[in-house]
Structure 1
Amino acid sequence: MTKNRVVVTGLGTVSPIGNDVETMWNHLLDGYVGIDHVTKVNPDDFPTKIAAEVKDFNPENYMDKKDARKMDLFTQYAVAASRMAVDDAQLEIDEQLAPRVGVWIGSGIGGMQTYEDQFRNFIEKGQRRVSPFFVPMMIPDMASGQVSIQLGAKGINSCTVTACASGTNSIGDAFKVIERGDADVMITGGAEAPIVNMAFAGFSSSKALTTNEDPKTASRPFDKNRDGFVMGEGAGIVILESLESAQKRGAKIYAEIVGYGSTGDAYHITAPAPEGEGAARAMQQAIDDAGLNGEEVDYINAHGTSTAYNDQYETNAVKTVFKDHAYHLAMSSTKSMTGHLLGAAGGLEAIISILSIKDSIMPPTVNYETPDEECDLDYVVNEARKAEVNVAMSNSLGFGGHNASIVFKKYE
């Protein structure tokens, strides 16, 4: 079977470091940290006092006020980022194109704020006060559903829920849809709005969140003194398109997506497999799918959560896959600035990987102060680095043992 080449023609984001791609990217290269004291929950109730919150987001800039009231915040983020990406791609979804435009947007948790609000209504006021929109606002697939409705995309419509790998898996799954010819265009990525009491409590109880109270230095991937991740929120959406479709309409092309790998650890519900065994297989699958050899990879946007096991085992996985080249390629964790967007992380980090190729620059891992002997690779510490990036990989690893890697290449 002939495989269609697939390219990236549009980008859109809502993030803790900017509610459009240009602002986000400039802040990232400047080392700007979007983490601050948490406002969406009462910090006095939790051991963690900080979060990476989206600021100054107005859903009415992207959708009708009446429609927005029927959406959880994660869905609003998805619709906003998708509109930006479609506009960036200068894509007109008319009646002829609509059946060939699909949507595949992942979310790790879905409408947690909706669940919390409506459960409170149920307990305090009874069943009759639960909103009729409760279920369609809460379920994780509603980001994809509402984007389809708002933009008129009538092709395949799906949602991957693989915890923190959701965004990357969704992009990889959407890539395969176009590659096999089932759609010409896919609106894809991830969305998340988890900064609510129950999610904060759950991650705090599992001791996954940092207890460092300095928001500007708390997220420190690969640093020896890292002590947990910082919860973030937002959405990252890319427009994937068959090369034939993009050329036919004269679209600008950011990069080509060429590889996807997805594996399971079969090990533990939250801890990664020892030495990053599952992550290594996902990376190798993505490289093989791309038809590349490991030495062609210039940059890795790491999952890099700033937790003890993740950073060490992801480092081990990179060494397993790339061998000597592991010490020559560069990798960074932009979660040091954005926090961890959970199911949206892969969407945002795909955009970052694509822009590293386009602009020949690698974003930094900030807050790196104390080397860890277990993490001894080149993490582009503290300052962005100008360098030719022909091939970039983005990794996402999630609770449940989900591992996903995607590979982007400079378009030729």
Structure 2
Amino acid sequence: MKRRVVVTGVGMVTPLGHDAESTWTALREGRSGVGFIQDFPTDKLRSDVASMVKDYDARAFLSNKEADIYGRVVPFSLGAAIEALRMAGLDHPKAEDEVPRPGGTRLPVDPSRIGCFMSTGQGAVDIFEQQILKSAERGPRAVSPFFIPAVMLNIVSALVSMRYGFMGPSYNIASACATGTHSVATGTLMIEAGEADVMVVGGSEAATRLNTVAGFGNARALGRSIDGDPAKTSRPFDKKRTGFVMGEGAGALVLEAEESALKRGVKPIATIAGFGMTSDGEHLTRPHSEGVGLRLAVERALARAGIGPGDVGYINPHATSTTQGDIAEYAALHEVFGDRLATIPISATKSMLGHLLGGAGGVEAAVTALSLRDQVVHPSINVDELDDAFKLDLVRQERRVDLSYALKVSAGFGGHNCALVLGRA
């Protein structure tokens, strides 16, 4: 019999808040984290906006030396993971001289049964850029000896495991903008398969640099500020959407076997009832025009959860605000839900946070879990005129709901699709 997986903690570091509750409050209030790019000139770029984390203190859990070595993605990820573990009652770092061993009494769960998939799609882009420039200007001997570990995609999972002495499965899962959601799905699979009792999972990104903005912009994927207002740029499903807004941040969830949570006396926030993972098998950057791969992911998630389309009471979509992406996603969802899709509350987190790339799925899965906990869904903003192609119940202001199950979907460059069904705890 399949083990039941529950969510016992969530954590977030986003442009709207340095923790889960402040981010959740801002989303419910319909606030935007999008602003003009300040770190580099944008006059020759196709986009002038981004959604950035401001005034985050990396030295809260990193030494001065570590804060200089690692890129922005590391403190965001660590902050989200530590918050999620604290909420789950598992924030018990090991002593500096402690040698990790199976068993022990410091943690309420055997550390050899705890793993970590805190993933990133692009890693420390800022450090990579910094060290390449240093080599070009001063020669190869100027490159930091910490360059390679700092830019490894698995650095965050490694640092979380090292901080706590976790000895379960630990690595990075990279699937572009589906990274965080795939990490949740694969972490769930690890617990269901008996490979772990607890998994710290999620996604993170901090890649808003001149060259990444140039690359996405030249691919015609990014939007520009509207009427001089950056907050209006991200507008999923709106008739005048022109592209996504690059964002940064991290979202983490602590997944746990239900019997482990019950044994510890921890009240779950939500359940991970099912997941589906597929590929389009068609194009490197463009989604399948009919959304076939994403549809299959949703159908598999529902089947794994043992529910039908009629049981889903809320959808947190991928909804990037690109012309083709929103159309393909709508096609996939309409194939699954039919005309009932027009009656299911839908709200796009990216309308306020922008697109956190590899971090998006982690944050949005955590947001969906909080929606189930509080029986509230946040609004979508900037939908002045719903595109005629869509018949949707797009939530315009915070709404009280009666949710048993919610759907979270993500898609990434490369044709990677992932769907999660979360349930009320």
Q: TM-score range by the shorter chain?
A: over 0.9
Residue pair 2:18, 2:56 contacting (<8 A) in 1 also:
yes
For the residues of structure 2 that align with 1:68 and 1:397, how far apart are their CA atoms? 32
Structure 2 length as normaliser, TM-score? 0.94
For the residues of structure 2 that align with 1:80 and 1:178, how far apart are their CA atoms? 24
2:207 counterpart of 1:208: no
Shift of 1:73: 1.2
Shift of 1:152: 2.0
2:207 counterpart of 1:194: yes
Bigger mean CA deviation after superposition, 57-66 or 215-224:
57-66
Q: Deviations over 1:102-142 (max 9, x none)?
A: 00122111111111101101111111011111111112111
Show the counterpart of 1:392.
Answer: 406
Runs of 4+ more than 3 Å apart: 92-95
Among 142, 146, 149, which residue is 1:136 paired with? Answer: 149
Q: Deviations over 1:160-197 (max 9, x none)?
A: 11000000001100000001111110010001001112
Bigger mean CA deviation after superposition, 7-16 or 70-79:
70-79
For the residues of structure 2 that align with 1:98 and 1:69, how far apart are their CA atoms? 29
Residue aligned with 2:43, SS: helix
Identity value in percent: 39
Show the counterpart of 1:124.
Answer: 137
Residue pair 1:40, 1:195 contacting (<8 A) in 2 also:
no
Instruction: Give the letter aligned to residue 248 of structure 2.
Output: E
Residue pair 2:183, 2:203 contacting (<8 A) in 1 also:
yes
Among 295, 300, 309, which residue is 1:294 paired with? Answer: 309
Residue pair 2:224, 2:230 contacting (<8 A) in 1 also:
no
Show the counterpart of 2:36.
Answer: 37
Instruction: Give the letter aligned to residue 258 of structure 2.
Output: L
Bigger mean CA deviation after superposition, 131-140 or 229-238:
131-140
1:99-114 mapped onto 2 (5 Å cutoff):
99-114=112-127
Residue aligned with 1:406, SS: strand
1:5-404 mapped onto 2 (5 Å cutoff):
5-91=4-90, 96=103, 97-213=110-226, 214-381=229-396, 383-404=397-418
For the residues of structure 2 that align with 1:206 and 1:100, how far apart are their CA atoms? 43
Bigger mean CA deviation after superposition, 357-366 or 34-43:
34-43
Cα distance change of structure 1 residues 6 and 309 upon mapping to structure 2, 3 Å threshold: same
Shift of 1:66: 2.8
Residue aligned with 1:231, SS: coil
Instruction: Give the letter aligned to residue 53 of structure 1.
Output: M
Shift of 1:387: 1.0
Instruction: Give the letter aligned to residue 414 of structure 2.
Output: G
Residue pair 1:107, 1:343 contacting (<8 A) in 2 also:
yes
Bigger mean CA deviation after superposition, 144-153 or 46-55:
144-153
Instruction: Give the letter aligned to residue 411 of structure 2.
Output: L
For the residues of structure 2 that align with 1:116 and 1:313, how far apart are their CA atoms? 34
Residue pair 1:81, 1:236 contacting (<8 A) in 2 also:
yes
Instruction: Give the letter aligned to residue 249 of structure 1.
Output: R
Shift of 1:92: 5.0
Instruction: Give the letter aligned to residue 61 of structure 2.
Output: Y
For the residues of structure 1 that align with 2:315 and 2:40, how far apart are their CA atoms? 33
Shift of 1:313: 1.2
For the residues of structure 1 that align with 2:275 and 2:146, how far apart are their CA atoms? 36
In structure 1, stretches of 5+ residues that fail to align are none
For the residues of structure 1 that align with 2:177 and 2:4, how far apart are their CA atoms? 27
Residue pair 1:273, 1:401 contacting (<8 A) in 2 also:
yes
Q: Deviations over 1:272-305 (max 9, x none)?
A: 0012111111111111111111100001100000
Q: How many residues align?
A: 409
For the residues of structure 1 that align with 2:41 and 2:160, how far apart are their CA atoms? 32
Residue pair 1:336, 1:367 contacting (<8 A) in 2 also:
yes
Bigger mean CA deviation after superposition, 95-104 or 397-406:
95-104
Bigger mean CA deviation after superposition, 252-261 or 64-73:
64-73
Instruction: Give the letter aligned to residue 180 of structure 1.
Output: A
Q: Deviations over 1:185-233 (max 9, x none)?
A: 0010001001112211111111111023521111000000000000000
Residue pair 1:11, 1:237 contacting (<8 A) in 2 also:
yes
For the residues of structure 2 that align with 1:186 and 1:150, how far apart are their CA atoms? 15
Structure 1 length as normaliser, TM-score? 0.97
Residue pair 1:311, 1:375 contacting (<8 A) in 2 also:
no
Residue aligned with 1:44, SS: coil
Shift of 1:143: 1.4
